[in-house]
Amino acid sequence: MKIGFIGVGKMASAIINAIKETDTSIIISGSSLERSIEIAKKLGVDYAKSHQELIDQVDLVVLGVKPQKFPSVLNGLIFKQAIMSMAAGITLEKLQQLTDDKLPLIRIMPNMNAIIRESTTAITFNEKASDKWKGYCLQLTNQFGKTYEIEEKDFDTFTALAGSSPAFIYQFIEAMAKAGVNNGISKDKALEIVEQTVMASALNLQETNSNPNDLIDAICSPGGTTIAGLMDLEKNHFTHTISSAIDQTITKAKRL
């Protein structure tokens, strides 16, 4: 299988690094020929002299273009193969209008954890995608993480829960570390402690197949330190703040 990437930003580069070790031939086309040569050398893949040259020689085109640039980048290009888009806000219907309604179209939404091959990725297909294409695409996306096949109507919610939420989690980790510094622990040590705790807590939730509330109850003892902290979080609207941030992210995604 030969895969071509049009647009090679951070996300596309992370995906390429994950899949180039498989039985896959990769070629890229960036914003300019000079940029394509530079990135191809860095990633250890081939480059095309133009987007159309790339399209004419691959089995699958992956679009790593920013959503607002789709119309200008795709204008005049002639596609003849399956197309995979990773752009937020570009629906399969919109992609069909910009390309060809007779082709298999795939929409994915990975997150930046693809860098460490631990992306949480959503995927959906149009009616032209055969079971063979679906199987291949799922195999491909699982190379850089875990894939969830969901209905397209849920993509904006998925974008908030998996695409944007790592930034919220990092903000939480940073806040916890600052609290450690405020109470006498060095920033490096505080970060190390919080990182390990967050990672192990998520793993505990997965491996025990527990409900979060069950584990919260297991940690809290009557009149103890943990319940005191939790009550303060709720007094400061912690749950509502997180939920509101997700809602705002979804609203923004729907406007793209």
3-state SS assignment for residue 207: helix
Which H or E element spans position 47? strand 46-47
Answer yes or no: is pLDDT of 118 > 90.
yes
Fold of 2-150: Rossmann fold (3.40.50)
Residue 4, annotated as binding a ligand? no
Angle at 104 between CA 98 and CA 94, to 5 degrees: 25
Q: What does the pLDDT read at residue 101?
A: 87
**Does residue 32 surpass a pLDDT of 80?**
yes
Segments in 65-186 forming alpha helices (H)? 70-74, 92-98, 131-141, 155-158, 165-182
Query: Which two tokens mark 98?
Result: 């910009």
CA distance 184 to 198: 20
Is 9 annotated for ligand binding?
A: yes
Tell me which residue has tokens 């699982």.
142
Has residue 222 got a pLDDT over 80?
yes
Domain boundaries, the chain: 2-150, 158-254
What pTM was computed for the model? 0.91
Residue 21 has what pLDDT? 82
CB atoms within 10 A of CB 33: 13
Q: Indicate if the pLDDT at residue 247 is higher than 90.
A: yes
d(CA 96, CA 205): 40
CATH superfamily of 158-254: ProC C-terminal domain-like (1.10.3730.10)
Q: Is 7 annotated as a binding residue?
A: yes
How remote is the C-alpha of 205 from its chain's centroid?
21
pLDDT value, residue 102: 94
Mean pLDDT along residues 115-141: 97
Q: Given a cut of 80, is residue 256 above it in pLDDT?
A: no
Residue 105 predicted with pLDDT over 90: yes
4: helix, strand or coil = strand
Give the residue among 117, 96, 114 at the shortest CA–CA distance from 105. Answer: 96
Confidence of residue 182 (pLDDT cuts 50, 70, 90): very high
User: How far is residue 29's CA from residue 12's CA, in Å, rounded to a whole number?
Assistant: 11
SS3 74: helix
Phi and psi for 58 in degrees, rounded to 5? -120, 165
Tell me the one-letter amino acid at 220.
C
